[in-house]
Structures are given as C-alpha cells and as structure tokens.
Structure 1
Amino acid sequence: MQLIDINKKRYRRHLNYIIVACVVSLIIGCLAISQLLIAVFPDESGSHFHWNLTGVVITSLLIGLILNKYRTHDFMIEVAYVWDLKQVLNRINRKMLKLKAAAQEGNINALLAINFSYAGSRLLWELDDNLIIMDQLAIDQAEIDSLAMKYNLILKAEDYDEAVLKEF
C-alpha cells in the first residue's frame, strides 16, 4: 500500500455523509425489519427482543454489503483508502515489538515497516486532527532515523511491502 495525499476537507465531508447515512439506515432498517417480523410472527409473551436483534443484524449486514459494493465509487475513494490504511497499520502494530527488536539489529524490513507505520499514522492523525501525540511520533521517528543512519540505510515509506511482515 502506498501513502497518498488526501484532500482533508473532502474526506471529512464524505466520511460524515457516510456515517449519517449508515446511522439513518440502521435506525430505519432495524425498525422496519423488526416491525415486519413482529407482525408476521407475533409473540404472546410480548417479548420481541429476538426480532429486534434480528432486525439489527440483518440491517447491519445489508449496510456492510452496500458499503463493500460501493467502496470503489468516486464518493468513497478517500474513506475506503483510510479504512484500508488503518487495517494495514493495525497489522504492523500487532507485530511492533518484534519489529522494534529486529530494527535494533539493523533489519531493513523491520525499519521499513516501522517507518511506514509512522508515516501512515502521521497521515491519519492529521486527517482526524489528532495532533496530541504528534510530539511522541516525532521522537519515535527520530529514533528510527538514527537507526537508519547507523546502518547506512535510506528509509522511504513507498519502499514498504506488506509481505515483509510474514518474516516477523
């Protein structure tokens, strides 16, 4: 996965529209499906929890299918990219302890993965205006940069390949 520049204003606007559409769809879909199931299969005890839960599950699945189907639509490009980037960063973070240990020994793949993680995190945090921990990220990045200099390596986020995580 390559890091790309994202129009922050467009991304936020589209994300907000998608969130609102999902919430409204969930509310309307759950109520409609639950009421339909209750009308077709009434329960004498008056408890309709299972029909309400079924409505939530069915509506959630439908929303997930629709989002997945339209993830390549022009309106969804930035949002889908950020979702994918978060998944990639999560896979790296799950192996971060092993990666940091290997980076101390000069493993180029570990250094590339950590560098990509920091660059991707910086991108996400700037998109979400989460600037609180940017100082810590700068410290961590300086540490990786010093390791790269120690081993005479040049780290570029675009050189990262997710397949190297299998090594760790």
Structure 2
Amino acid sequence: MQLIDINKAEYRKKLNIVIVGFLVTLLSLSLLFGSVLISVFSDVPYAMATQDSASKVEQVDTVQEGSKEEQSPSNFKFNLLGVILALLACAAILHSLRKHTLFTEIYYVWQLKQIQNQIYRKLKQIKQSAESQDEVALIILCFYYQSLRQVYQLDDNTLTMSTVELEINRLNDIISANGLTISAAQFDKSLLSSYS
C-alpha cells in the first residue's frame, strides 16, 4: 500500500456524511426490524396470554396494577435482534459501497489503520531488527511512522504528534548514519511476513 495525499477538509466532510448516514440508517432499520419482528413473532404468544388472562380475570375480582404489567410480553429480545440485524445490514451496505467515490478517502484511511494495527502487533520485533540496521525493518518503520503522521493529521490528533515526529527524526538519523536510501514508497504488506 502506498501513501497518498488526502485533502483533509474533503476527508472530514465525507466522513461526517458517512457517520450521519450510518446512524440514521441504523436507527431506521433498527426500528423497522424490531417492529416487524414484534408484529410477526410476538402476536401469537400475546394473544394466547390475553385469552388465558381473560379467563383468570373472571375468577379474580381485583387485579393489581403490577400484575397487568407482568402479563404483557417482553419485546426486548425482538428489539435487540432488530438492532443486530440493522448493524449487519449497515455493515453490508458499507462493504458494498466501499469502492464508491464518496468512500475513496475513508476507505483508504480505514485500510491504512488496518495495516498500522498489523505493524503495531509486531512493532517490538521490528524495532529490534531496525536497531541492527535491518533494511526491511527500517522500510516498515518508515511507512509506519509516516502513515501515523498522516492519520493523526487527518483526525486532528495533536497529542501524540510530537512523539511520532521524534520517532521519524530518530529513524531518519539511523537511515542517514548508515548511508541508506529508504522511503515509505518501498513498503509492501508482504514485508510483514518476515516477523512473527
């Protein structure tokens, strides 16, 4: 994966549109699926419960307010299932639209974060190899820190930016001290297979 320049304002605008669209769709589908599940599956037990309770009410003269509430069936499981189905539907929609032009920058950043997570899991070994001037490790670290800087700038994460800049400077010192020419453009995901 190669690092590409992204317009921060355009990225934030598209991300906000996707987030709002996702939340509205999730809410609408949750309500829809929950209502359909309740109407399809909850009517039969509720009708049976009302018939049984009607015969019991004839036998008992007074009914307490709390017992009426206990007789109505709980729809929590149907509402929960509706939310789960809505989440699955939204995930399927996002997956099918990931190649759309609206999602270009968002999908790129998502892929970048996935690779960063894979590198982070092996970061200790990669750093140890980089200390012994392993070129593959240096390429991975170069890509990792530059991609972190890009994502942090896009997400306005200024708290950890100074740490990333220090790591980039330290890495550049190692590269220049050894007379190497290493850039993030040399990175390929297959390089990670060298580290378990």
Question: How many residues end up aligned between the 2 structures?
Answer: 168
Deviation by residue 1:77-117 (Cα, 9 ceiling, x = unmatched): 11111111110111111110010001011111111111101
Question: Which residue does 2:139 correspond to in 1?
Answer: 112
* Residue in structure 1 matched with residue 78 of structure 2 by the alignment: 51
After the TM superposition, which segments of 4 or more aligned residues of structure 1 sit over 6 Å from their partners?
none
Name stretches of at least 5 consecutive residues in structure 1 with no aligned partner: none
CA distance in 1 between counterparts of 2:137 and 2:154 reads 26
1:62 aligns with 2:100: no
Equivalent position of 2:52 in the other structure: none
- Give the CA RMSD over aligned residues: 1.2
Larger radius of gyration: 2
Q: Which residue of 1 aligns with 2:53?
A: none
Q: Are 1:94 and 2:121 counterparts? A: yes
d(CA) in 1 for partners of 2:182, 2:36: 58
CA apart distance, 1:123: 0.5
Residue aligning to 2:12: 12
Give the secondary structure class of the aligned counterpart of 2:2.
coil
1:17-166 map, 5 Å? 17-42=17-42, 43-44=45-46, 46-166=73-193
2: CA distance between counterparts of 1:51 and 1:150? 64
Shift in Å, 1:167: 0.5
Report the TM-score, using the length of structure 2 for normalisation: 0.82
CA distance in 2, matches of 1:158, 1:138: 18
**Alpha-carbon distance between aligned partners in 1 of 2:97 and 2:166, rounded to the nearest angstrom:** 39
Residues in 2 aligned to 1:152 and 1:98: alpha-carbon distance in whole angstroms: 23
Q: Deviations over 1:44-83 (max 9, x none)?
A: 4522222112111111111111111111111111111111
Describe the SS at the equivalent of 1:6.
coil
Identity %: 36
SS in structure 1 of the partner of residue 179 of structure 2: coil
Distance 2:40 2:165 in 1: 60
Q: Which amino acid aligns with 2:12?
A: R
Once the two structures are TM-superposed, the CA of residue 144 in structure 1 deviates from its matched residue by: 1.1
